[in-house]
Amino acid sequence: MKQHILLLLFAFIGISAMAQGFLTDNIGKKPIDIYGSNVYIDDYKLDKYNAAACFSSLNGVDRSEDYLKYRAGYKTGLGLTIGGASLAVAGFGTTLAGFIASYGNMSAEAADAVIIAGYFSVMTGTLCFLAGIPTVCVYKARLNRLEEKYNTSLRIGASPGGLSMAISF
């Protein structure tokens, strides 16, 4: 019986020590919101370095570099998507203009060059667009997981009735 009590005492001390580190990491944190790649605390937009600082000690792990990498990936995917769609539309317009010009006063060689340039623009734009959509989705999901990990925590703070403890999910 004494051995069981001693074992429970050691287990309680170990769990208390682990919880102490967890609580000190999460006391006083305000929840964040990530819209796109921007981080907001209480509707105040943080710049990328202050946002990265929010993730510098996420439950004892430095995730600031992960945030910067995910943010850059999201912005790259957004650029590929928007740029690719723009290039595809411009290429379609160029191809259409080449066909129209071939019936006008433009030489056949010049009209063919315009049409070929339009085709390549459409193909390149479409490929960029198709590569950008999954890139945006993957990095946005990673940013959302980072936000979820930040906001899921055990918090201790003041309440109208005194000191309170809450677990946020």
CA distances from 24 to 8, 62, 156 (A): 24, 15, 10
Single-letter amino acid code for the residue at 118: G
Q: Are the C-beta atoms of 27 and 35 separated by less than 8 Å?
A: no
Name which of 147, 149, 148 is nearest 38 in CA terms: 147
Domain assignments of the chain as residue spans, ordered by start: 29-149
Q: What is the pTM of this model?
A: 0.69
Q: What is the pLDDT along the chain (169 residues), one digit of tens a residue?
A: 556 565 555 554 555 445 444 433 444 468 888 888 888 988 889 888 888 888 887 777 788 899 999 999 999 999 999 999 999 999 999 999 998 888 888 888 888 999 999 999 999 999 999 999 999 999 999 999 988 888 875 455 555 665 555 555 4
Give the torsion through C-alpha atoms of 99, 104, 109, 112, to 10 deg: 0
Q: How far apart are CA 104 and CA 88, in angstroms?
A: 24
